[in-house]
Amino acid sequence: MQYPGRTIKLGEGDAAVVKALKTALNKALVLRGDAAVPLDPDNPSFGPRMKQAVQLFQARHLDVQGQPLKIDGEVGALTWAALFGQWRVPRSDAVADAFLGAVLGKAGEAADAGVREQPRNSNRGPEVDEYLRRAGVKPGLAWCCAFTYWCFDEAAGDVQRDNPMLRTAGCLMHWNKAESRGARRIAAKDAVADPALVTPGMVFIMDFGGGLGHTGFVERVEGGFVHTIEGNTDASQGREGGGVYRLARKLTSINKGFIDYAGV
């Protein structure tokens, strides 16, 4: 069964989904001899015992990237993929909007070129200074959002059109004012429940509190994961890294949401 596009939890009313989950949980847990199973697939209720079985499965299995599952007794995209296989959750690597494809291409070129800060941990360097200048701010500041603006600006210049992205180096400013530029916003909770809402070419926004954020591009989607291209980061997935990198992040780590400029 394909992932139904919502988080499955206590009180779920779709009997077919509950039956499929109980059958899969029985198969996964009975093979281990666990006393918490079997569940009755013909009982359409997602009750406390089923929640315990989901928690037990989550405690004893990893997601498709080999990382621990969140033990919450709810079946989101990551737990669904661990139960049924990654091909049973949304996957997307095609950019439907031609302009966003060109923007993503600019980001990919920077990642392939290995853009890095010079010197290390300085928020400076020939490319980094240009990203910040293009976004209208001084050198030496955090530059992840300036990088996304530069990618939009380069792609817009190539086809002699206006840049649709808000001119800013502030991630949260971008989130707050993106709709004023005609963009569509997808809240994090909606994206986690239904990864099919997220498509390549979108901009992700993370909020760390205190006005601090981080941003980058979605390059492709694989179930509960987004593969990204982002600046001012590194393999630690922090917001103050030293270059432009391709990374894989859990959708649940994108705690603000996604901005879509398709058609703008």
Mean pLDDT value across residues 220-245: 86
CA pseudo-torsion sign 123, 129, 130, 132: positive
Say which DSSP state 40 is in.
-
Section 47-60 average pLDDT: 94
pTM of the predicted protein model: 0.84
* pLDDT, position 145: 98
pLDDT at position 64 is 82
33 has pLDDT over 60: no
- Model pLDDT, residue 65: 82
Q: Is 51 helix (H, G, I), strand (E, B) or coil?
A: helix
At position 158, the amino acid (one-letter code) is D
* Of 189, 196, 203, 228, the residue nearest 91 (C-alpha): 196
Whole-number Cα distances in Å, 170 to 18, 157, 173: 43, 22, 5
Tokens encoding 124: 């400076």
Select the more confidently predicted residue: 58 or 234.
58
Closest to 96 in 3D by CA, of 87, 104, 107: 104
Task: Quote the pLDDT of residue 237.
Answer: 63
> What is the CATH architecture of 92-260?
Alpha-Beta Complex (3.90)
Distance CA 159, CA 224 (A): 34
Evaluate if residue 191 carries a pLDDT over 70. yes
Mean pLDDT, residues 211-222: 95
pLDDT higher than threshold 80 for residue 169: yes
Check whether 239 has a pLDDT greater than 70: no
Q: Give the whole-number percent of the chain exceeding pLDDT 90.
A: 81
What is the reported pLDDT for 235?
72
Query: Which pLDDT score is estimated for 35?
Result: 53
Residue among 262, 242, 70 at smallest CA distance from 185? 262
Q: Is the pLDDT of residue 37 over 80?
A: no
Flag whether pLDDT at 32 surpasses 90.
no
Give the chain's radius of gyration (CA, Å): 21
Residues 212-241, mean pLDDT to the nearest whole number: 88
User: Which of the pair, 140 or 90, is modelled with greater confidence?
Assistant: 140
Q: How far apart are CA 257 and CA 85, in angstroms?
A: 26
What pLDDT sits at residue 29?
87
Residue 211: per-residue pLDDT? 93
Percentage above 70 pLDDT, the chain: 96
Q: Where are the domains of the chain?
A: 15-89, 92-260
